[in-house]
Structure 1
Amino acid sequence: MSNTFGLHTFAVAPVWDLARIEPQIERLKEYGIGLMEIPLLRPSEIDTRAARAFAGRHGVELVPSLGLPGTIDVVERPQDGLDFLEPAFRVCAEIGGFGLAGVTYGTIGKTTGRAPTQREIDGVCRFLERAAKGAGAHGIRLGIEPCNRYETHLINTGKDAARIVERIGADNIFIHLDTYHMHIEEESFASGFEAAAPFLGYIHVSEANRGVPGRGMLNWTACMKAIAEIGYGGPITLESMNHVDADIAGGLAVWRPVAERPDDVIEVGLPFLRDAAKAAGLELGCRRAGL
Protein backbone atom coordinates (compact mmCIF):
# COMPACT_ATOMS: atom_id res chain seq x y z
CA MET A 1 0.00 0.00 0.00
CA SER A 2 1.39 3.44 -0.96
CA ASN A 3 0.53 6.72 0.75
CA THR A 4 1.64 10.22 -0.15
CA PHE A 5 4.12 11.39 2.48
CA GLY A 6 3.52 14.96 3.60
CA LEU A 7 5.20 17.59 5.74
CA HIS A 8 3.54 20.46 7.58
CA THR A 9 5.13 23.85 6.91
CA PHE A 10 5.79 24.30 10.65
CA ALA A 11 8.61 21.76 10.40
CA VAL A 12 10.61 24.21 8.28
CA ALA A 13 9.01 27.68 8.63
CA PRO A 14 6.45 29.51 10.83
CA VAL A 15 4.34 30.57 7.82
CA TRP A 16 3.98 29.62 4.17
CA ASP A 17 7.00 31.53 2.87
CA LEU A 18 8.28 30.30 -0.49
CA ALA A 19 11.53 32.24 -0.15
CA ARG A 20 12.30 30.08 2.85
CA ILE A 21 10.64 26.84 1.79
CA GLU A 22 11.62 26.46 -1.88
CA PRO A 23 15.38 26.20 -1.23
CA GLN A 24 14.62 23.18 0.96
CA ILE A 25 12.11 21.32 -1.19
CA GLU A 26 14.52 19.14 -3.17
CA ARG A 27 16.15 17.97 0.06
CA LEU A 28 12.71 17.18 1.47
CA LYS A 29 11.79 15.21 -1.65
CA GLU A 30 14.90 13.09 -1.13
CA TYR A 31 13.30 11.99 2.14
CA GLY A 32 10.14 11.02 0.23
CA ILE A 33 8.04 14.15 0.75
CA GLY A 34 5.39 14.55 -1.93
CA LEU A 35 3.03 16.96 -0.16
CA MET A 36 3.35 20.21 1.76
CA GLU A 37 0.68 21.37 4.18
CA ILE A 38 -0.01 25.10 4.20
CA PRO A 39 -1.30 26.71 7.43
CA LEU A 40 -4.01 29.20 6.52
CA LEU A 41 -3.62 31.42 9.56
CA ARG A 42 -4.53 34.40 7.41
CA PRO A 43 -5.86 33.10 4.05
CA SER A 44 -5.53 36.47 2.31
CA GLU A 45 -1.73 36.29 2.65
CA ILE A 46 -1.39 33.25 0.37
CA ASP A 47 -0.27 33.99 -3.19
CA THR A 48 -2.17 31.14 -4.83
CA ARG A 49 -0.57 31.53 -8.28
CA ALA A 50 2.92 31.35 -6.78
CA ALA A 51 1.95 28.38 -4.62
CA ARG A 52 0.46 26.44 -7.53
CA ALA A 53 3.49 27.21 -9.69
CA PHE A 54 5.76 25.96 -6.89
CA ALA A 55 3.77 22.73 -6.69
CA GLY A 56 4.04 22.26 -10.45
CA ARG A 57 7.77 22.93 -10.55
CA HIS A 58 8.51 20.39 -7.87
CA GLY A 59 5.78 17.82 -8.42
CA VAL A 60 4.28 18.06 -4.94
CA GLU A 61 0.73 18.32 -3.66
CA LEU A 62 -0.48 21.19 -1.49
CA VAL A 63 -3.05 20.80 1.29
CA PRO A 64 -4.19 23.81 3.34
CA SER A 65 -5.29 23.54 6.96
CA LEU A 66 -6.48 25.92 9.67
CA GLY A 67 -8.13 26.46 13.01
CA LEU A 68 -10.76 29.17 13.33
CA PRO A 69 -9.71 32.46 15.00
CA GLY A 70 -10.58 32.96 18.67
CA THR A 71 -13.11 35.66 17.81
CA ILE A 72 -15.35 33.19 15.99
CA ASP A 73 -18.09 31.16 17.69
CA VAL A 74 -19.79 28.89 15.17
CA VAL A 75 -22.71 28.16 17.50
CA GLU A 76 -23.60 31.75 18.35
CA ARG A 77 -22.48 33.45 15.12
CA PRO A 78 -22.11 30.82 12.40
CA GLN A 79 -21.98 33.38 9.59
CA ASP A 80 -18.71 34.75 10.98
CA GLY A 81 -17.18 31.29 10.60
CA LEU A 82 -18.55 30.85 7.10
CA ASP A 83 -17.21 34.26 6.10
CA PHE A 84 -13.75 33.26 7.35
CA LEU A 85 -13.83 29.89 5.58
CA GLU A 86 -14.92 31.25 2.21
CA PRO A 87 -11.51 32.74 1.27
CA ALA A 88 -9.85 29.59 2.67
CA PHE A 89 -11.97 27.50 0.29
CA ARG A 90 -10.94 29.78 -2.56
CA VAL A 91 -7.26 29.39 -1.69
CA CYS A 92 -7.64 25.63 -1.52
CA ALA A 93 -9.30 25.42 -4.92
CA GLU A 94 -6.87 27.82 -6.59
CA ILE A 95 -3.78 25.91 -5.46
CA GLY A 96 -5.31 22.58 -6.53
CA GLY A 97 -5.82 21.16 -3.05
CA PHE A 98 -8.25 18.25 -2.64
CA GLY A 99 -9.70 19.78 0.52
CA LEU A 100 -9.29 21.94 3.60
CA ALA A 101 -8.06 20.13 6.71
CA GLY A 102 -7.81 21.11 10.37
CA VAL A 103 -10.03 22.42 13.13
CA THR A 104 -12.62 23.90 10.81
CA TYR A 105 -15.35 23.79 13.46
CA GLY A 106 -13.68 25.70 16.31
CA THR A 107 -10.70 27.51 17.79
CA ILE A 108 -7.54 25.69 18.88
CA GLY A 109 -7.06 26.27 22.59
CA LYS A 110 -10.62 27.43 23.28
CA THR A 111 -12.72 25.34 25.67
CA THR A 112 -15.52 25.82 28.17
CA GLY A 113 -13.94 23.44 30.66
CA ARG A 114 -17.02 21.22 30.40
CA ALA A 115 -18.37 18.55 28.08
CA PRO A 116 -20.09 19.92 24.97
CA THR A 117 -23.77 20.61 25.45
CA GLN A 118 -26.36 19.27 23.06
CA ARG A 119 -26.90 22.83 21.91
CA GLU A 120 -23.22 23.11 21.03
CA ILE A 121 -23.18 19.82 19.13
CA ASP A 122 -26.34 20.80 17.26
CA GLY A 123 -24.81 24.18 16.41
CA VAL A 124 -21.53 22.65 15.22
CA CYS A 125 -23.44 20.21 13.00
CA ARG A 126 -25.56 22.97 11.48
CA PHE A 127 -22.42 25.01 10.86
CA LEU A 128 -20.50 22.14 9.27
CA GLU A 129 -23.45 21.28 7.05
CA ARG A 130 -23.38 24.83 5.67
CA ALA A 131 -19.58 24.83 5.48
CA ALA A 132 -19.59 21.57 3.52
CA LYS A 133 -21.92 23.15 0.98
CA GLY A 134 -19.58 26.12 0.73
CA ALA A 135 -16.61 23.83 0.17
CA GLY A 136 -18.57 21.85 -2.39
CA ALA A 137 -19.29 25.00 -4.36
CA HIS A 138 -15.52 25.27 -4.86
CA GLY A 139 -15.19 21.59 -5.75
CA ILE A 140 -13.26 20.68 -2.61
CA ARG A 141 -13.74 18.61 0.54
CA LEU A 142 -13.96 19.75 4.17
CA GLY A 143 -12.00 18.07 6.93
CA ILE A 144 -12.64 17.99 10.67
CA GLU A 145 -9.77 17.24 13.04
CA PRO A 146 -10.52 15.91 16.54
CA CYS A 147 -8.22 17.58 19.08
CA ASN A 148 -7.32 16.77 22.65
CA ARG A 149 -9.39 18.01 25.58
CA TYR A 150 -6.98 20.86 26.32
CA GLU A 151 -7.43 22.37 22.86
CA THR A 152 -11.17 21.87 22.36
CA HIS A 153 -14.13 20.32 24.14
CA LEU A 154 -16.15 19.87 20.95
CA ILE A 155 -14.62 16.91 19.04
CA ASN A 156 -11.95 14.83 20.77
CA THR A 157 -11.96 11.33 19.24
CA GLY A 158 -12.42 9.48 15.99
CA LYS A 159 -15.76 8.25 17.26
CA ASP A 160 -16.88 11.81 18.06
CA ALA A 161 -15.99 12.91 14.53
CA ALA A 162 -17.65 9.91 12.89
CA ARG A 163 -20.91 10.58 14.71
CA ILE A 164 -20.93 14.16 13.45
CA VAL A 165 -20.10 13.20 9.87
CA GLU A 166 -22.81 10.54 9.92
CA ARG A 167 -25.34 13.03 11.25
CA ILE A 168 -24.51 15.68 8.64
CA GLY A 169 -24.53 13.21 5.76
CA ALA A 170 -22.52 15.37 3.34
CA ASP A 171 -20.41 13.34 0.93
CA ASN A 172 -17.55 15.87 0.89
CA ILE A 173 -16.70 15.86 4.62
CA PHE A 174 -13.73 13.82 5.78
CA ILE A 175 -12.09 13.11 9.13
CA HIS A 176 -8.55 14.29 9.76
CA LEU A 177 -6.86 12.33 12.58
CA ASP A 178 -3.69 13.38 14.39
CA THR A 179 -1.59 10.88 16.35
CA TYR A 180 -0.61 13.55 18.91
CA HIS A 181 -4.25 14.04 19.90
CA MET A 182 -5.02 10.32 19.58
CA HIS A 183 -2.17 9.51 22.00
CA ILE A 184 -4.03 11.58 24.62
CA GLU A 185 -7.66 10.75 23.86
CA GLU A 186 -8.06 7.32 22.27
CA GLU A 187 -8.24 3.98 24.05
CA SER A 188 -5.88 2.67 21.36
CA PHE A 189 -4.71 3.61 17.89
CA ALA A 190 -6.61 0.62 16.55
CA SER A 191 -9.94 1.75 18.03
CA GLY A 192 -9.47 5.37 16.96
CA PHE A 193 -8.56 4.61 13.37
CA GLU A 194 -11.25 1.97 13.08
CA ALA A 195 -13.95 4.37 14.30
CA ALA A 196 -12.94 7.01 11.77
CA ALA A 197 -12.11 4.64 8.91
CA PRO A 198 -15.28 5.09 6.78
CA PHE A 199 -14.64 8.83 6.56
CA LEU A 200 -10.88 9.11 7.07
CA GLY A 201 -9.19 11.35 4.50
CA TYR A 202 -6.07 12.77 6.12
CA ILE A 203 -3.62 11.80 8.88
CA HIS A 204 -1.12 13.81 10.88
CA VAL A 205 1.69 11.70 12.29
CA SER A 206 3.10 13.62 15.23
CA GLU A 207 5.22 12.52 18.16
CA ALA A 208 3.77 12.72 21.68
CA ASN A 209 5.87 15.83 22.37
CA ARG A 210 5.45 17.31 18.85
CA GLY A 211 9.17 16.80 18.29
CA VAL A 212 11.31 14.21 16.51
CA PRO A 213 9.33 11.06 15.63
CA GLY A 214 10.82 8.09 17.44
CA ARG A 215 12.22 10.14 20.32
CA GLY A 216 9.01 10.40 22.29
CA MET A 217 6.53 8.09 23.97
CA LEU A 218 4.25 7.39 21.02
CA ASN A 219 3.83 3.72 20.08
CA TRP A 220 4.66 3.94 16.39
CA THR A 221 4.44 0.20 15.82
CA ALA A 222 0.83 0.15 17.00
CA CYS A 223 0.06 3.36 15.14
CA MET A 224 1.31 2.24 11.73
CA LYS A 225 -0.18 -1.22 12.16
CA ALA A 226 -3.60 0.33 12.86
CA ILE A 227 -3.36 2.53 9.74
CA ALA A 228 -2.41 -0.46 7.61
CA GLU A 229 -5.20 -2.64 8.99
CA ILE A 230 -7.97 -0.24 7.94
CA GLY A 231 -6.59 -0.11 4.40
CA TYR A 232 -6.10 3.65 4.45
CA GLY A 233 -4.62 4.97 1.20
CA GLY A 234 -4.63 8.75 1.73
CA PRO A 235 -1.92 11.23 2.71
CA ILE A 236 0.16 10.79 5.86
CA THR A 237 1.76 14.06 6.97
CA LEU A 238 4.35 14.79 9.65
CA GLU A 239 3.31 17.71 11.83
CA SER A 240 6.07 18.96 14.10
CA MET A 241 6.11 22.34 15.82
CA ASN A 242 9.68 23.36 14.97
CA HIS A 243 8.47 26.82 13.93
CA VAL A 244 5.05 28.21 14.88
CA ASP A 245 3.43 31.53 14.05
CA ALA A 246 2.57 33.64 17.10
CA ASP A 247 -1.13 33.67 16.18
CA ILE A 248 -1.43 29.95 16.93
CA ALA A 249 1.42 29.21 19.35
CA GLY A 250 -0.69 30.04 22.41
CA GLY A 251 -3.54 27.74 21.42
CA LEU A 252 -1.06 24.92 20.81
CA ALA A 253 0.78 25.64 24.09
CA VAL A 254 4.10 25.78 22.26
CA TRP A 255 6.54 27.94 24.19
CA ARG A 256 9.79 25.97 24.01
CA PRO A 257 11.67 24.17 21.22
CA VAL A 258 10.29 20.72 20.45
CA ALA A 259 13.73 19.46 19.41
CA GLU A 260 17.18 20.35 20.71
CA ARG A 261 18.42 20.19 17.11
CA PRO A 262 15.57 21.28 14.81
CA ASP A 263 17.06 19.57 11.74
CA ASP A 264 16.58 16.22 13.49
CA VAL A 265 12.85 16.51 12.80
CA ILE A 266 13.70 16.17 9.10
CA GLU A 267 16.92 14.18 9.08
CA VAL A 268 15.96 11.68 11.80
CA GLY A 269 12.17 11.90 11.96
CA LEU A 270 11.31 11.41 8.30
CA PRO A 271 13.44 8.28 7.80
CA PHE A 272 12.11 6.91 11.08
CA LEU A 273 8.51 7.32 9.94
CA ARG A 274 9.18 5.69 6.58
CA ASP A 275 10.86 2.74 8.30
CA ALA A 276 8.02 2.38 10.83
CA ALA A 277 5.47 2.48 8.02
CA LYS A 278 7.40 -0.07 5.96
CA ALA A 279 7.49 -2.47 8.90
CA ALA A 280 3.67 -2.31 8.98
CA GLY A 281 3.33 -2.86 5.23
CA LEU A 282 2.88 0.79 4.26
CA GLU A 283 4.95 2.78 1.79
CA LEU A 284 5.37 6.52 2.28
CA GLY A 285 6.53 8.51 -0.72
CA CYS A 286 5.74 10.92 -3.53
CA ARG A 287 2.46 9.90 -5.09
CA ARG A 288 -0.77 11.63 -5.97
CA ALA A 289 -3.29 10.70 -3.29
CA GLY A 290 -6.36 8.87 -4.55
CA LEU A 291 -8.95 11.11 -2.92
Structure 2
Amino acid sequence: MKIGIHSMVWVGEWNDDGAREAIARTAETGYDLIELTAISPSTMNIPLTAKLLEENGLGCSASLGLGPRTDISSEDPDAVKAGRDLLFQALNVVRDCGGSMLCGVIYSALMKYSHPATERGLENSRTVLAELADKAKESNIRLGLEFCNRYETNVINTTAQTLKFIEEIGRDNITAHLDTYHMNIEENSMAGAVKDAAAAGKLGYVHVGESHRGQLGTGSVNWPEFLGALKEVGYDGIVTFESFSSKVVHPTFSNDLAIWRNLWDDNIALANGARAFIREHLGA
Protein backbone atom coordinates (compact mmCIF):
# COMPACT_ATOMS: atom_id res chain seq x y z
CA MET A 1 0.00 0.00 0.00
CA LYS A 2 1.18 3.52 -0.87
CA ILE A 3 0.07 6.51 1.21
CA GLY A 4 -0.31 9.72 -0.79
CA ILE A 5 -1.25 13.33 -0.23
CA HIS A 6 -3.04 15.77 -2.53
CA SER A 7 -0.83 18.59 -3.78
CA MET A 8 -3.37 21.24 -2.78
CA VAL A 9 -2.65 20.57 0.87
CA TRP A 10 0.61 22.39 0.08
CA VAL A 11 0.14 24.76 -2.86
CA GLY A 12 -2.65 26.26 -4.92
CA GLU A 13 -0.85 26.34 -8.26
CA TRP A 14 1.76 24.01 -9.77
CA ASN A 15 4.44 26.46 -10.82
CA ASP A 16 8.18 25.85 -10.31
CA ASP A 17 8.27 27.19 -6.75
CA GLY A 18 5.08 25.35 -5.91
CA ALA A 19 6.47 22.09 -7.25
CA ARG A 20 9.60 22.43 -5.13
CA GLU A 21 7.63 23.22 -2.00
CA ALA A 22 4.95 20.56 -2.42
CA ILE A 23 7.34 17.73 -3.25
CA ALA A 24 9.76 18.63 -0.46
CA ARG A 25 6.95 18.86 2.10
CA THR A 26 5.50 15.55 0.95
CA ALA A 27 8.82 13.83 1.46
CA GLU A 28 9.47 15.56 4.80
CA THR A 29 6.14 14.42 6.22
CA GLY A 30 6.74 10.80 5.28
CA TYR A 31 4.35 10.17 2.40
CA ASP A 32 5.10 7.75 -0.42
CA LEU A 33 3.35 9.65 -3.18
CA ILE A 34 1.97 13.02 -4.17
CA GLU A 35 -1.21 13.45 -6.21
CA LEU A 36 -0.51 16.16 -8.77
CA THR A 37 -3.31 18.55 -9.68
CA ALA A 38 -3.37 18.48 -13.49
CA ILE A 39 -6.02 21.12 -14.05
CA SER A 40 -3.65 23.04 -16.37
CA PRO A 41 -1.21 20.40 -17.64
CA SER A 42 0.18 22.62 -20.41
CA THR A 43 1.60 25.04 -17.82
CA MET A 44 3.29 22.40 -15.65
CA ASN A 45 7.07 22.07 -15.80
CA ILE A 46 7.13 18.31 -16.28
CA PRO A 47 10.93 17.81 -16.52
CA LEU A 48 11.38 19.70 -13.23
CA THR A 49 8.53 17.81 -11.58
CA ALA A 50 9.91 14.43 -12.66
CA LYS A 51 13.41 15.41 -11.46
CA LEU A 52 12.12 16.53 -8.05
CA LEU A 53 10.08 13.36 -7.60
CA GLU A 54 13.11 11.22 -8.36
CA GLU A 55 15.39 13.20 -6.06
CA ASN A 56 12.92 12.87 -3.19
CA GLY A 57 12.11 9.21 -3.80
CA LEU A 58 8.41 9.87 -4.36
CA GLY A 59 5.81 8.34 -6.64
CA CYS A 60 2.95 10.29 -8.16
CA SER A 61 -0.54 10.12 -9.50
CA ALA A 62 -2.48 12.95 -11.15
CA SER A 63 -6.07 14.11 -10.94
CA LEU A 64 -8.27 16.85 -12.32
CA GLY A 65 -11.84 17.93 -12.68
CA LEU A 66 -13.20 19.04 -16.02
CA GLY A 67 -15.07 22.33 -16.41
CA PRO A 68 -18.03 23.56 -18.46
CA ARG A 69 -15.81 24.33 -21.45
CA THR A 70 -14.10 20.92 -21.27
CA ASP A 71 -17.12 18.80 -20.33
CA ILE A 72 -16.93 15.52 -22.25
CA SER A 73 -20.45 14.64 -21.05
CA SER A 74 -21.77 17.68 -22.90
CA GLU A 75 -23.72 17.58 -26.16
CA ASP A 76 -21.52 20.45 -27.42
CA PRO A 77 -18.86 18.98 -29.75
CA ASP A 78 -16.47 21.84 -29.02
CA ALA A 79 -16.58 21.18 -25.28
CA VAL A 80 -16.13 17.45 -25.84
CA LYS A 81 -13.10 18.05 -28.07
CA ALA A 82 -11.57 20.50 -25.61
CA GLY A 83 -12.08 18.03 -22.78
CA ARG A 84 -10.57 15.21 -24.79
CA ASP A 85 -7.49 17.32 -25.56
CA LEU A 86 -7.11 18.28 -21.88
CA LEU A 87 -7.38 14.66 -20.71
CA PHE A 88 -4.74 13.50 -23.17
CA GLN A 89 -2.42 16.27 -21.94
CA ALA A 90 -3.03 15.17 -18.34
CA LEU A 91 -2.28 11.59 -19.32
CA ASN A 92 1.08 12.75 -20.66
CA VAL A 93 1.81 14.32 -17.26
CA VAL A 94 1.31 10.95 -15.56
CA ARG A 95 3.41 9.15 -18.17
CA ASP A 96 6.29 11.63 -18.13
CA CYS A 97 6.40 11.81 -14.33
CA GLY A 98 6.50 8.04 -13.96
CA GLY A 99 3.01 7.63 -12.52
CA SER A 100 0.51 4.87 -13.12
CA MET A 101 -2.87 6.50 -12.35
CA LEU A 102 -4.89 9.37 -13.82
CA CYS A 103 -8.00 9.92 -11.75
CA GLY A 104 -10.60 12.41 -10.61
CA VAL A 105 -13.66 13.86 -12.28
CA ILE A 106 -12.50 13.00 -15.77
CA TYR A 107 -15.93 12.01 -17.12
CA SER A 108 -17.90 15.30 -16.72
CA ALA A 109 -17.55 18.83 -15.47
CA LEU A 110 -17.06 19.32 -11.74
CA MET A 111 -20.08 21.50 -11.08
CA LYS A 112 -23.73 21.62 -10.02
CA TYR A 113 -25.85 20.67 -13.03
CA SER A 114 -29.39 21.99 -13.50
CA HIS A 115 -30.62 18.86 -15.30
CA PRO A 116 -29.96 15.11 -15.52
CA ALA A 117 -27.26 13.82 -17.83
CA THR A 118 -28.49 13.10 -21.35
CA GLU A 119 -27.89 9.82 -23.14
CA ARG A 120 -26.03 11.60 -25.91
CA GLY A 121 -23.82 13.30 -23.34
CA LEU A 122 -23.15 10.04 -21.52
CA GLU A 123 -22.19 8.38 -24.80
CA ASN A 124 -19.79 11.24 -25.54
CA SER A 125 -18.16 10.68 -22.16
CA ARG A 126 -17.90 6.92 -22.62
CA THR A 127 -16.40 7.34 -26.10
CA VAL A 128 -13.69 9.77 -24.96
CA LEU A 129 -12.84 7.64 -21.91
CA ALA A 130 -12.50 4.53 -24.06
CA GLU A 131 -10.04 6.36 -26.33
CA LEU A 132 -8.17 7.72 -23.30
CA ALA A 133 -7.99 4.26 -21.73
CA ASP A 134 -6.59 2.76 -24.92
CA LYS A 135 -3.86 5.41 -25.02
CA ALA A 136 -3.18 5.01 -21.28
CA LYS A 137 -2.73 1.27 -21.67
CA GLU A 138 0.27 1.86 -23.94
CA SER A 139 2.09 3.30 -20.89
CA ASN A 140 0.62 0.86 -18.34
CA ILE A 141 -1.51 3.64 -16.84
CA ARG A 142 -4.94 3.12 -15.31
CA LEU A 143 -7.83 5.57 -15.12
CA GLY A 144 -9.79 6.10 -11.91
CA LEU A 145 -13.32 7.52 -12.14
CA GLU A 146 -13.98 9.52 -8.97
CA PHE A 147 -17.72 9.51 -8.46
CA CYS A 148 -18.89 12.65 -6.67
CA ASN A 149 -21.92 13.85 -4.76
CA ARG A 150 -25.00 15.12 -6.56
CA TYR A 151 -23.89 18.76 -6.21
CA GLU A 152 -20.69 18.19 -8.19
CA THR A 153 -21.74 15.94 -11.08
CA ASN A 154 -24.86 14.44 -12.65
CA VAL A 155 -23.09 11.41 -14.20
CA ILE A 156 -21.99 9.08 -11.38
CA ASN A 157 -22.73 9.60 -7.67
CA THR A 158 -22.32 6.11 -6.20
CA THR A 159 -20.10 3.05 -6.47
CA ALA A 160 -22.88 1.08 -8.15
CA GLN A 161 -23.35 3.73 -10.84
CA THR A 162 -19.60 3.89 -11.37
CA LEU A 163 -19.24 0.14 -11.81
CA LYS A 164 -22.07 0.16 -14.35
CA PHE A 165 -20.52 3.09 -16.23
CA ILE A 166 -17.14 1.33 -16.33
CA GLU A 167 -18.77 -1.82 -17.65
CA GLU A 168 -20.45 0.19 -20.41
CA ILE A 169 -17.11 1.71 -21.46
CA GLY A 170 -15.60 -1.76 -21.71
CA ARG A 171 -11.92 -1.11 -20.92
CA ASP A 172 -10.09 -3.20 -18.35
CA ASN A 173 -7.77 -0.39 -17.20
CA ILE A 174 -10.62 1.83 -15.97
CA THR A 175 -11.30 1.54 -12.25
CA ALA A 176 -13.47 3.05 -9.52
CA HIS A 177 -11.94 5.88 -7.52
CA LEU A 178 -13.61 5.88 -4.09
CA ASP A 179 -13.67 9.10 -2.06
CA THR A 180 -14.99 9.07 1.51
CA TYR A 181 -16.11 12.71 1.39
CA HIS A 182 -18.56 11.92 -1.40
CA MET A 183 -19.44 8.43 -0.14
CA ASN A 184 -20.41 9.92 3.22
CA ILE A 185 -23.11 11.88 1.39
CA GLU A 186 -24.35 9.35 -1.17
CA GLU A 187 -23.72 5.73 -0.13
CA ASN A 188 -26.05 3.56 1.96
CA SER A 189 -23.08 1.53 3.23
CA MET A 190 -19.42 2.49 3.17
CA ALA A 191 -18.35 -1.12 3.70
CA GLY A 192 -20.79 -2.41 1.11
CA ALA A 193 -19.45 0.01 -1.49
CA VAL A 194 -15.86 -1.06 -0.86
CA LYS A 195 -16.78 -4.74 -1.07
CA ASP A 196 -18.80 -4.27 -4.26
CA ALA A 197 -15.93 -2.47 -5.99
CA ALA A 198 -13.44 -5.10 -4.83
CA ALA A 199 -15.70 -7.98 -5.90
CA ALA A 200 -15.93 -6.45 -9.38
CA GLY A 201 -12.13 -6.18 -9.52
CA LYS A 202 -12.44 -2.40 -9.93
CA LEU A 203 -11.26 -0.96 -6.60
CA GLY A 204 -8.49 1.11 -8.13
CA TYR A 205 -7.83 4.23 -6.03
CA VAL A 206 -8.93 5.71 -2.72
CA HIS A 207 -9.26 9.25 -1.41
CA VAL A 208 -9.60 9.63 2.35
CA GLY A 209 -11.22 12.95 3.15
CA GLU A 210 -13.21 14.03 6.18
CA SER A 211 -16.87 15.13 6.00
CA HIS A 212 -15.85 18.80 6.37
CA ARG A 213 -12.63 18.30 4.34
CA GLY A 214 -10.44 18.94 7.40
CA GLN A 215 -8.36 16.64 9.61
CA LEU A 216 -9.24 12.95 9.53
CA GLY A 217 -11.18 11.68 12.53
CA THR A 218 -12.71 15.05 13.41
CA GLY A 219 -15.90 14.84 11.34
CA SER A 220 -18.72 12.38 10.68
CA VAL A 221 -17.11 9.81 8.34
CA ASN A 222 -17.40 6.28 9.74
CA TRP A 223 -13.70 5.46 9.57
CA PRO A 224 -13.81 2.07 11.34
CA GLU A 225 -16.36 0.87 8.80
CA PHE A 226 -14.61 2.21 5.71
CA LEU A 227 -11.00 1.43 6.63
CA GLY A 228 -12.03 -1.90 8.12
CA ALA A 229 -13.61 -2.82 4.78
CA LEU A 230 -10.39 -1.89 2.94
CA LYS A 231 -8.48 -4.24 5.24
CA GLU A 232 -11.10 -6.96 4.85
CA VAL A 233 -10.90 -6.98 1.05
CA GLY A 234 -7.09 -6.83 1.13
CA TYR A 235 -6.78 -3.52 -0.69
CA ASP A 236 -3.10 -2.78 -1.30
CA GLY A 237 -3.26 0.14 -3.72
CA ILE A 238 -2.93 3.89 -3.22
CA VAL A 239 -4.67 5.70 -0.34
CA THR A 240 -4.40 9.47 -0.76
CA PHE A 241 -5.26 12.06 1.86
CA GLU A 242 -7.28 14.94 0.42
CA SER A 243 -8.08 18.11 2.35
CA PHE A 244 -8.88 21.68 1.37
CA SER A 245 -8.89 24.98 3.21
CA SER A 246 -9.10 28.63 2.17
CA LYS A 247 -5.53 28.82 3.49
CA VAL A 248 -4.38 27.35 0.17
CA VAL A 249 -6.26 28.68 -2.85
CA HIS A 250 -6.37 27.77 -6.54
CA PRO A 251 -7.85 30.49 -8.80
CA THR A 252 -10.70 28.29 -10.06
CA PHE A 253 -10.60 24.91 -8.29
CA SER A 254 -11.21 26.31 -4.80
CA ASN A 255 -14.39 27.98 -6.06
CA ASP A 256 -15.52 24.80 -7.82
CA LEU A 257 -15.23 22.91 -4.53
CA ALA A 258 -16.85 25.70 -2.47
CA ILE A 259 -13.83 26.15 -0.18
CA TRP A 260 -15.04 29.25 1.63
CA ARG A 261 -13.44 28.92 5.08
CA ASN A 262 -10.27 27.90 6.85
CA LEU A 263 -10.43 24.32 8.08
CA TRP A 264 -6.75 24.44 9.00
CA ASP A 265 -3.84 26.86 8.97
CA ASP A 266 -0.87 24.56 9.60
CA ASN A 267 -0.61 22.16 6.67
CA ILE A 268 2.44 20.38 8.10
CA ALA A 269 0.57 19.51 11.30
CA LEU A 270 -2.40 18.49 9.15
CA ALA A 271 -0.28 16.20 6.97
CA ASN A 272 1.51 14.62 9.91
CA GLY A 273 -1.79 13.96 11.66
CA ALA A 274 -3.41 12.45 8.60
CA ARG A 275 -0.45 10.18 7.88
CA ALA A 276 -0.45 8.92 11.47
CA PHE A 277 -4.23 8.34 11.33
CA ILE A 278 -4.01 6.31 8.12
CA ARG A 279 -1.11 4.20 9.32
CA GLU A 280 -2.74 3.56 12.70
CA HIS A 281 -6.01 2.36 11.19
CA LEU A 282 -4.65 0.48 8.17
CA GLY A 283 -1.39 -0.77 9.63
CA ALA A 284 0.33 0.69 6.56
TM-score, reference length from structure 2: 0.90
Unaligned runs of 5+ in 1: 284-291
Per the alignment, in what secondary structure is the counterpart of residue 102 of structure 1? strand
Residue pair 2:70, 2:81 contacting (<8 A) in 1 also: no
Q: Within 1, Cα distance between the matches of 2:29 and 2:150?
A: 33
Aligned-residue offset at 1:269: 2.4
Q: Within 1, Cα distance between the matches of 2:164 and 2:27?
A: 41
Q: Within 2, Cα distance between the matches of 1:22 and 1:190?
A: 33
Bigger shift: 17-26 or 54-63? 17-26
TM-score, reference length from structure 1: 0.88
Q: Within 2, Cα distance between the matches of 1:202 and 1:268?
A: 21
Aligned-residue offset at 1:250: 1.5
Matched, 1:268 2:253: no
Residue pair 1:110, 1:251 contacting (<8 A) in 2 also: no
Matched, 1:181 2:179: no
Bigger shift: 86-95 or 263-272? 263-272
Partner of 2:148: 147
For residues 97-132 of structure 1, the C-alpha deviation after alignment (integer angstroms, 9 at most, x for no partner) is 1021111111112413x4434333333222322222
Bigger shift: 102-111 or 71-80? 71-80
Q: Within 2, Cα distance between the matches of 1:262 and 1:139?
A: 33
Per the alignment, in what secondary structure is the counterpart of residue 148 of structure 2? coil
Q: 1:79 to 1:156 in 2, by over 3 A?
A: same
Aligned-residue offset at 1:203: 0.4
Aligned-residue offset at 1:22: 4.0
Q: Which has the higher contact order (CA 8 A, sep 6+)?
A: 1
Partner of 1:104: 106
Equivalent residue letter for 2:211: A
Aligned-residue offset at 1:55: 1.6
Mapping 1:1-291, distance limit 5 Å: 3-16=1-14, 17-29=18-30, 33-74=31-72, 75-76=74-75, 77=77, 78-112=80-114, 114-197=115-198, 198-242=201-245, 243-259=248-264, 261-278=266-283, 283=284
Q: Within 2, Cα distance between the matches of 1:200 and 1:179?
A: 13
Equivalent residue letter for 1:181: H
Per the alignment, in what secondary structure is the counterpart of residue 69 of structure 2? coil
Equivalent residue letter for 1:248: F
Residue pair 1:176, 1:203 contacting (<8 A) in 2 also: yes
For residues 21-77 of structure 1, the C-alpha deviation after alignment (integer angstroms, 9 at most, x for no partner) is 244244212xxx100000011001222211111121121101111111321231322
Q: 1:92 to 1:216 in 2, by over 3 A?
A: same
Structure 1 runs of 4+ off > 6 angstroms?
none
Equivalent residue letter for 1:167: E
Partner of 1:287: none
Per the alignment, in what secondary structure is the counterpart of residue 41 of structure 1? coil
Residue pair 1:63, 1:92 contacting (<8 A) in 2 also: yes
Residue pair 2:212, 2:219 contacting (<8 A) in 1 also: yes
Aligned-residue offset at 1:186: 0.5
Q: Within 2, Cα distance between the matches of 1:64 and 1:177?
A: 15
Q: Within 2, Cα distance between the matches of 1:181 and 1:140?
A: 24
Bigger shift: 76-85 or 160-169? 76-85
Q: Percent identity?
A: 34
For residues 235-279 of structure 1, the C-alpha deviation after alignment (integer angstroms, 9 at most, x for no partner) is 00000113231211121111111225544422322212221223x
Equivalences, count: 273
